[in-house]
Structure 1
Amino acid sequence: MNLPNLIKTPSFFQQIQWVAEPVEYMEKAVQQYPDIFTSGVLGSQRPVIFVQHPQAIAEIFTNDRKKFAALSRENRILQPLLGDNSIVMLDSDRHKRQRQLLIPPFHGERMQAYGEIIRNITEKVFSQLPHNQPVSIRTTMQEISLQVILQAVFGLYEGERCQQIKRLITSVLEVFQSPLGSSFLFFRFLQKDLGAWSPWGRFVRQRQQIDELLYAEIAERRTKSDPNRIDILSLLMSARDEEGKPMTEQELRDELMTLLFAGHDTTATAMAWGLYWLHHLPQVGEKLLQELGNLGDSPNTIDIARLPYLSAVCNETLRIYPVGILTFARVVKEPVKLLEHELEPDTAVCGCIYLLHHRQDLYPQPNQFKPERFLERQFSPYEFMPFGGGARRCIGEALALFEMKLVLATIFSHYQLALTTNQPEQPQRRGVTLAPSGKVKMMITGERKSQESRKVVASV
């Protein structure tokens, strides 16, 4: 098979570097091959072509399911976490059916109801943090995002089941928090249950406990149906496909696991990065504070989400260190030419989001954090794609962005924070994502007065 710009390093060593130092691996490869190269990093039986040219990525996604089709088996790395019926694992008609059932709860007027939940949780979590003491902002963002998921997705506010799910989800994620822990997902030979004290054995038992809690919640909802509930689980349970069929218990469980793990941890990472940049570059924080001040003391959540500079800060955060590194893999269905390279059927391709977002021709000075670039021009869906693209674009994109904007705005308008070190944060692998290596250590140094209070002080 003729493969474009094949990296010659043995596949196993590429995998090790991909797990341990993904950014270094990508940046070294792109120096040789700026637009497209063939990699051996995904641990499959076939190599995978990384594409980081916007025109080529557009061609892959606009020809989706004609010349390029989803390749779910390349996503099997997430199967131990999400299950076989997660939307991430499905192809063709099953994927289309599941997507149609999942999309409605994430749009429309429900978003405003979720907005108040997000703001209240943020205020509650931060009100409990100590002042003038270092805290891990990433851990704090995890607490906020997990509570948002439990309330918005599950409708769970308190109680023993709620606390158990929180504890178990947090514990499971800690298994994959470092490159070493992440290797359990990438190397299947490490997935051995050697008892409760072994890493994989502990994960398997914790997953079983989460399953029992989720199935108990689903069963309870079946017997105590409430048409007035607006949480996403209730909406999914009442949803019907074109044949009038509901989702099965197994499908519900796998989609809930997808929302719990993919929805909460990725959003927490993005919010931690956002707070880091706002304080690492004080001039960015000052511009945002000025924009927030123009809304007054009791702004509507929708008005906050529409703020131009806040939106630019969030977009630039998702550009410079995208949480997801790659799009989901596609497979070539018929002979096709991509960037003058002839690709044969059964060739696997994926868009490299990180390298796309660091193209000098798209983003001058790509390693600098500059929100203004998103105010100066509009990027196409194939130039800026932090949530993937095509039929497999993240269904939770609207909720994730909404949450990110509200959490950052709420914290920044109420609290004064400071980084505890001048050492720049670096991206590090966490599972299949990139997260801050130092967890963004900060401290609360004071509280910001409301606009009304500042007026009173100024008049005295």
Structure 2
Amino acid sequence: MTPAELALLLRPLQFFNSHAAGTRDGLLELGNTSEPRVLVWNPEVIGGIWHADRTLAHPGSRTFRPVLGEHSLIWADGQRHRDYRAALSVPLVRQLHTYRGMIAGIVDSFIDDLTPGTKFSLADWTRALALRVMGAFVFGMDDTSFLRPFARWMTRAIGSRPRTLAYRHLRGGLPTAGPELDRLLVEQARAARRDPRTLSAHLLAHDSPVAGMDDDELRDQVVTLLFAGHETTASTAAWALYWLHRHPEIGDRVRAELDRTRADEPGHDGSPLLDAVVSETLRLTPPVPAAGTRKLATDCDLGDRRFRAGTVVMPQIYIAHRSPATFENPRRFNPDRFLDRDGTAYRRPITQFFPFGGGTRHCPGAQLGQLEVREILARVLRRLDLQLVEHRGPVEQLRAHTMAPSPRIRMRVRAYR
């Protein structure tokens, strides 16, 4: 293992920050092994990867492959990957408006459980909330108490970075869900096909492009949807609330903006500042620091260097988003960088700002996740007066390949508004 690989393994955020602040060319080779790996954050090269994505292989994560399963849509390739995206495009993109009321009801129920004086772990609260919402997306609104063992499994596997590293390097891999939880998830998914609003119904419909999958494949998709759909959303919502309470003047501006909008329409069209807060949160503290691995099918040039076929290329979200060449004062939380002078939303090029990846692997749930985060922020800011409780220790917590606020960051409910 090279020094760079060791630094990336043991102190990844410090490693990322050291390269984001440097004057490098946006490429870093990690070693001259039989399968060389290259970190990429150069915008021009990133654009080339997105453009050529259909010709690249997507080997996925060695850490998470046994957890999510061999059939996971995250590393499906070719026609099977296109079939999964087609099956999920209707609920995740075309029917977004049908989910807003369901999200709002769940968020309000979680807020109702908080009483003045209550102190709570911000990351734990948003994670429980987002898992409940994702459970409703996948299985419907019936009893989802079986999600508790799923949450315990995730905490055991990725809740502690030292424990995760020990599992991966000393125990042969992360712990799996176990046959009983796998069976329960499959049974619930097949039962949920009766509710046409659920993701399970769209996967299992007789005219679905992936209809007829067996229990093993269905299990892998359900676990993938639950994990990917709640972990990243929960982290984004928690980070946004953290930043808004670290910078209360921005929080006051968002509340004033929300006061000018209808309570049932918290974002996108009428709340550009709220949208900018979400975008700036995704820039400064992306829930996933890297955008997924690609493998070169042929020898090709990346930037000014040539790499041979078989090289694994890893687009780096965290480093690209903190590059001073792209973002002025990149470590400062400044939502105004995502607003034009007239206060309308400003869209950054996907070669510079890509919290949901890009190319053929752009996250299919990106719009739904952002809708959920906006609902959480709008309802919390409208209903609660919160105080950020001081804490000691690092702000960030790495959970395998995701980055969340430390569970030690706590909020106190001062009052209801």
**TM-score, structure 2 length as denominator?**
0.91
Q: 1 CA distance for matches of 2:298 and 2:252?
A: 53
Shift of 1:277: 0.5
Describe how 1:430-445 pairs up with structure 2 within 5 A. 430-445=399-414
**1:424 to 1:374, Cα distance in 2 relative to 1, 3 A:** farther
Q: Return the letter of the residue paired with 2:265.
A: N
Does the Cα contact within 8 Å between 1:279 and 1:419 map onto a contact in 2? yes
Does the Cα contact within 8 Å between 2:261 and 2:271 map onto a contact in 1? no
**1:107 to 1:29, Cα distance in 2 relative to 1, 3 A:** closer
Q: 1 CA distance for matches of 2:203 and 2:269?
A: 26
Shift of 1:219: 4.4
Does the Cα contact within 8 Å between 1:324 and 1:353 map onto a contact in 2? yes
Pick the aligned partner of 1:170 from 151, 161, 170.
Answer: 151
**1:33 to 1:286, Cα distance in 2 relative to 1, 3 A:** same
Shift of 1:15: 4.7
Q: 2 CA distance for matches of 1:390 and 1:76?
A: 21
Structure 2 match to 1:196: none
Q: Return the letter of the residue paired with 1:262.
A: A
**TM-score, structure 1 length as denominator?**
0.83
Q: 2 CA distance for matches of 1:333 and 1:441?
A: 47
**What secondary structure, in the 3-state scheme, does the structure 2 residue paired with 1:103 have?**
helix
* Pair 1:258 & 2:224 matched: yes
Q: 2 CA distance for matches of 1:119 and 1:47?
A: 46
**1:172 to 1:299, Cα distance in 2 relative to 1, 3 A:** same
Q: 2 CA distance for matches of 1:305 and 1:209?
A: 45
Shift of 1:181: 2.2
Does the Cα contact within 8 Å between 1:356 and 1:383 map onto a contact in 2? yes
Q: 2 CA distance for matches of 1:304 and 1:29?
A: 34
Q: Return the letter of the residue paired with 1:49.
A: V
Structure 1 match to 2:165: 183
Pick the aligned partner of 1:77 from 39, 63, 72.
Answer: 63
Larger Rg, first or second structure (1 or 2):
1
Q: 2 CA distance for matches of 1:152 and 1:218?
A: 11
Shift of 1:281: 0.3
Does the Cα contact within 8 Å between 2:202 and 2:208 map onto a contact in 1? no
Does the Cα contact within 8 Å between 1:38 and 1:47 map onto a contact in 2? yes
Does the Cα contact within 8 Å between 1:101 and 1:240 map onto a contact in 2? no
Structure 2 match to 1:451: none
Structure 1 match to 2:121: 136
Q: Return the letter of the residue paired with 1:140.
A: W
Structure 1 match to 2:343: none
Q: Deviations over 1:78-131 (max 9, x none)?
A: 1222111111121222222222222222122x3222111111111111111232
In the alignment, structure 1 segments of 5+ residues that lack a partner are: 1-9, 193-199, 449-460
* Pair 1:207 & 2:198 matched: no
Shift of 1:48: 1.0
Describe how 1:445-460 pairs up with structure 2 within 5 A. 445-448=414-417
Shift of 1:427: 2.1
**1:17 to 1:173, Cα distance in 2 relative to 1, 3 A:** farther
Does the Cα contact within 8 Å between 1:304 and 1:406 map onto a contact in 2? no
Pick the aligned partner of 1:400 from 359, 369, 372.
Answer: 369
Shift of 1:230: 1.1
**1:437 to 1:14, Cα distance in 2 relative to 1, 3 A:** farther
Q: Deviations over 1:241-285 (max 9, x none)?
A: 56x844333322211100111111111111110100010001110
Pick the aligned partner of 1:293 from 253, 259, 265.
Answer: 259
**1:128 to 1:46, Cα distance in 2 relative to 1, 3 A:** same
Q: Return the letter of the residue paired with 2:162.
A: L
Q: Return the letter of the residue paired with 2:182.
A: D
Q: 2 CA distance for matches of 1:405 and 1:79?
A: 31
Pick the aligned partner of 2:202 from 219, 229, 235.
Answer: 235
Shift of 1:306: 5.1
RMSD after superposition: 2.3
Pick the aligned partner of 1:87 from 73, 83, 92.
Answer: 73
Q: 2 CA distance for matches of 1:369 and 1:425?
A: 17
* Pair 1:386 & 2:377 matched: no
Larger mean Cα displacement after TM superposition, 405-414 or 77-86: 77-86
Q: Deviations over 1:390-433 (max 9, x none)?
A: 10111111111010001110101111000111768622311111
Structure 2 match to 1:57: 46
Does the Cα contact within 8 Å between 2:54 and 2:360 map onto a contact in 1? no
Pick the aligned partner of 2:10 from 20, 25, 48.
Answer: 20
Q: Deviations over 1:307-357 (max 9, x none)?
A: 200100000001001111111111222232221111222211121110100
Q: 1 CA distance for matches of 2:307 and 2:137?
A: 44
Q: 1 CA distance for matches of 2:256 and 2:153?
A: 40
Q: 1 CA distance for matches of 2:35 and 2:380?
A: 46
Q: 2 CA distance for matches of 1:87 and 1:230?
A: 20
In the alignment, structure 2 segments of 5+ residues that lack a partner are: 341-345
**1:430 to 1:16, Cα distance in 2 relative to 1, 3 A:** farther
Shift of 1:438: 4.2
**What secondary structure, in the 3-state scheme, does the structure 1 residue paired with 2:398 have?**
strand
Structure 2 match to 1:48: 37
**1:172 to 1:219, Cα distance in 2 relative to 1, 3 A:** same
Q: 2 CA distance for matches of 1:17 and 1:207?
A: 33
Q: How many residues align?
A: 410
Q: Return the letter of the residue paired with 2:244.
A: L
Pick the aligned partner of 2:135 from 150, 153, 172.
Answer: 150
**What secondary structure, in the 3-state scheme, does the structure 1 residue paired with 2:53 have?**
coil
